[in-house]
């Protein structure tokens, strides 16, 4: 009798109590999934010169398509101490970025700015620079050839006095190439250090940011970008075949037509639109997926299954999604998607049923 009780207990433990359909997915894999290709509907690129005052990096450099300058403002005492010497500007390089030998000049800034609002064209949210790219004195106070891990620039006492009286300093590239240093948000803020007697005193940073100009994609082209932010709006038509189905995956693929990056990899994010597209700042939901790609990749595959399931459950909410480089204020990069290469294959099963 005991052996039959044991057998019954084993059978009960092994019995699949999940609804029909759910067991196939959770315990047996998706071997029985059906697939469908959703029709491509539209793709447009939204562009915005976003403020970079909250970025963890400060980037100086230029290429055929980009130029990036760095603006710094320090906190000074009311009176500079007499006898200050060994005055140095120090900035630490971010090793995640490629390093080029770079020539740049340092100029005194002549116009006040707001760190969280300034861009290549604007000194704050309400007013532009007199000249795009910042307002500064034509004559530089230093010309630097940079090829080290840390930037160290020496100033004399007179130059330190000029910096104190100015609205800040601006670093302007003089040839091609790029270098990225940490900002204060990156944990290693730029400093000016000076020695008074035997004591070294740092001057803390008050504001630091990059201002960047870059390419202007055509509206109908598909670009992703960081520094100069490009967000690609993508939408696929909903197929009524999916009504009441359970999505197993949404395999989004596209080909890379060209890519510019200062690092070996980039992160691509996807967020669903919560409203019909009305521009760069259209309301979006939570992150659907984040995919890291190598700078050498030519074909990208991402699973946007959660987004597909949401529009299955709520077909009226199919407003499309944004693709973007994440975060879009981290560095200077862009990715152009080959026209006509978007493809979305959905794997699905019938919804779970009772037993």
- What pLDDT does residue 353 have? 63
Higher per-residue confidence, 336 vs 353: 336
Mean pLDDT for all residues in the chain? 90
Tens digits of residue pLDDT in 163-176: 999 999 999 999 99
End-to-end C-alpha distance for the chain, whole angstroms: 30
Please report which confidence band the pLDDT of residue 199 belongs to, taking 50, 70 and 90 as the band edges. Answer: confident
- What pLDDT does residue 354 have? 54
Tens digits of residue pLDDT in 320-341: 999 999 999 999 999 999 999 9
Domains defined along the chain, listed by start:
18-48+216-349 (2.60.120), 67-213 (no CATH)
Q: Which of 322, 259, 316 minimizes the C-alpha distance to 286? A: 322
Higher per-residue confidence, 354 vs 263: 263
- What pLDDT does residue 17 have? 44
Q: Which of 2, 41, 33 minimizes the C-alpha distance to 239? A: 41
Q: Using an 8 Å Cβ cutoff, are 63 and 332 in contact?
A: no
Higher per-residue confidence, 22 vs 299: 299
Please report which confidence band the pLDDT of residue 345 belongs to, taking 50, 70 and 90 as the band edges. Answer: very high
Q: Using an 8 Å Cβ cutoff, are 41 and 222 in contact?
A: no
Tens digits of residue pLDDT in 115-164: 999 999 999 999 999 999 999 999 999 999 988 888 999 999 999 999 99
pLDDT higher than threshold 60 for residue 276: yes
pLDDT higher than threshold 80 for residue 32: no
Mean local confidence (pLDDT), 46-75: 97
Mean local confidence (pLDDT), 22-47: 76
Q: What pTM was estimated for this model as a whole?
A: 0.87
- What pLDDT does residue 19 have? 47
């Amino acid at each position: 009798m005991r052996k039959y009780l044991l057998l019954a207990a084993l059978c009960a433990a092994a019995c699949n109590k999940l609804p029909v359909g759910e067991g196939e997915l959770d315990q047996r894999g998706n071997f029985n999934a059906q697939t469908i290709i959703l029709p491509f509907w539209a793709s447009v690129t939204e562009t915005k010169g976003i403020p970079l005052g909250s970025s963890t990096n400060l980037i100086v450099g230029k290429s055929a398509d980009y130029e990036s300058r760095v603006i710094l403002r320090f906190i000074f005492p009311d009176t500079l101490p007499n006898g200050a010497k060994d005055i140095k500007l120090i900035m630490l390089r971010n090793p995640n970025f490629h390093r080029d030998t770079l020539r740049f000049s340092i100029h005194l800034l002549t116009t006040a700015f707001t760190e969280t609002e300034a861009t290549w064209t604007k000194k704050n949210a309400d007013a532009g620079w007199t000249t795009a790219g910042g307002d500064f004195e034509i004559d530089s106070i230093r010309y630097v050839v940079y090829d080290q891990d840390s930037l160290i620039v020496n100033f004399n006492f007179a130059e330190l006095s000029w910096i104190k009286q100015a609205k800040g300093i601006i670093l302007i590239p003089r040839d091609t190439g790029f270098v990225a240093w940490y900002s204060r948000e990156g944990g290693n803020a730029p400093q000016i250090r000076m020695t008074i007697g035997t004591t070294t005193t740092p001057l803390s940073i008050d504001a630091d940011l990059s201002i960047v100009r870059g390419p202007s994609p055509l509206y109908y082209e598909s670009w992703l970008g960081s520094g100069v932010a490009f967000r690609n709006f993508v939408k696929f038509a909903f197929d009524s075949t999916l009504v009441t189905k359970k999505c197993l995956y949404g395999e989004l693929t596209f080909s890379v037509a060209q890519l510019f990056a200062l690092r070996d990899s980039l992160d691509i994010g996807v967020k669903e639109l919560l409203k019909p597209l009305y521009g760069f700042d259209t309301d979006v939901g939570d992150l659907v997926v984040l995919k890291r790609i190598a700078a050498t990749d030519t074909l990208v595959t991402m699973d946007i299954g959660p987004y597909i399931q949401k529009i299955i459950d709520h077909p009226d909410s199919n407003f499309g999604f944004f693709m973007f480089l994440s975060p879009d204020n981290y560095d200077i990069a862009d990715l152009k998607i080959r026209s006509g290469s978007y493809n979305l294959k959905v794997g699905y099963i019938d919804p779970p049923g009772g037993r």
